[in-house]
Amino acid sequence: MSQFPQLSSNNLSGYPSITPTFPFQGVNVSLLNGFFLAHSSPFNSPELIVSSIEPILAHIKSTWPSLSVSNSTASYPTWLSFFNVNHDSSTPGSNLLLSSRLLGASALAGNNTGNLTSLENALKGLGGSDAVSLAWRTALSLFISTVVWVPQNAEEKSAAQAQAIVQTQFLRDLELDSGTYINEANVYEPDWQNTF
C-alpha cells in the first residue's frame, strides 16, 4: 500500500484487492491479489511494470518467505482485447453493500503501521465544477470494504448495514477529508452529501 504513490508516479494503475482470512481445505488463507496497468504512452512498457513491481515482490518474498507469490505480464493491443480476457465473470445476484474511500498519497505513504491496522479493521469489521467528489483530485486509490447478508433476512441486513458503517469509519480515519466514488459506495453513508 505504501508503494502505491511510487507506482502511480511510474504511470501505473491497478486493481489490487485484499481478502480477509478464510478456511480453505483445512488451512487459513489470506489473499492479496490484483493487476496493474501501464497507461498507453511512449513512456510505458511491460518492462516498466516488471521493473516497478519486482522490488515490491522481492521485499514480500524476503520478509514473508512462506507466502506463495506469483506474477506474469501480458500486453493487449486494445482495451477491448484486454476486457474480453479480464472481465468480471462472477455470477450476479448476491446481496452486497460496499463501503469505500478515495485515498491520496499522504494517507498511503505515511504511517504504514497505522494504515495496516485501519485496513485490517476495515476488512474484518467489528467538487469543483462538476459532480465528482473533491477527493478525486488527490486520490490514488479506491479502497472498498464489503459486507454480505442472506436474502430476505431483515435482521442480517440491518447488522450488515451497521457493520458497513463501522468498517467505513476505519477507512475514513486514514484521510478525514476523503470522499468516495458514488457507484461503489455505501448507500447508507451518514454524511453522503459531502462524501459523494
Range with lowest mean pLDDT among 5-19, 31-45, 174-188: 31-45
Domain boundary assignment for the chain: 4-86, 96-195
Cβ contacts of residue 142 below 8 Å, gap of 6+? Answer: 100, 101, 102, 103, 180, 181, 184
User: Residue 98 is placed in which grid cell?
Assistant: 460496499
157 exposure class (CB count in 10 Å sphere: 0-12, 13-18, 19+): middle
What's the mean pLDDT when you consider all of the chain? 76
Write down the pLDDT at residue 155: 92
Closest CA to 120 of 13, 21, 2: 21
Write down the pLDDT at residue 127: 41
Q: Are 166 and 126 in contact (CB under 8 A)?
A: yes
Q: Is the pLDDT of residue 152 over 70?
A: yes
Bridge partner list, 14: 36
Cα–Cα dist 107/174, whole Å: 6
| Cα dist from 35 to 17, 70, 83, 93, 130, whole Å | 9, 12, 13, 25, 30
Q: Is the pLDDT of residue 83 over 80?
A: yes
Q: What is the pLDDT of residues 156-196, one digit of tens each?
A: 989 988 888 888 888 888 887 788 877 777 777 877 777 77
Q: Are 185 and 98 in contact (CB under 8 A)?
A: yes
The residue assigned the cell 468480471 is: 88
Instruction: Name the band, by pLDDT with cuts 50, 70 and 90, for residue 128.
Output: very low
Cα–Cα dist 74/71, whole Å: 10
Write down the pLDDT at residue 112: 66
What pTM was estimated for this model as a whole?
0.52
Q: Is the pLDDT of residue 126 over 80?
A: no
| Cα dist from 171 to 2, 3, 24, 30, 114, whole Å | 15, 18, 28, 20, 11
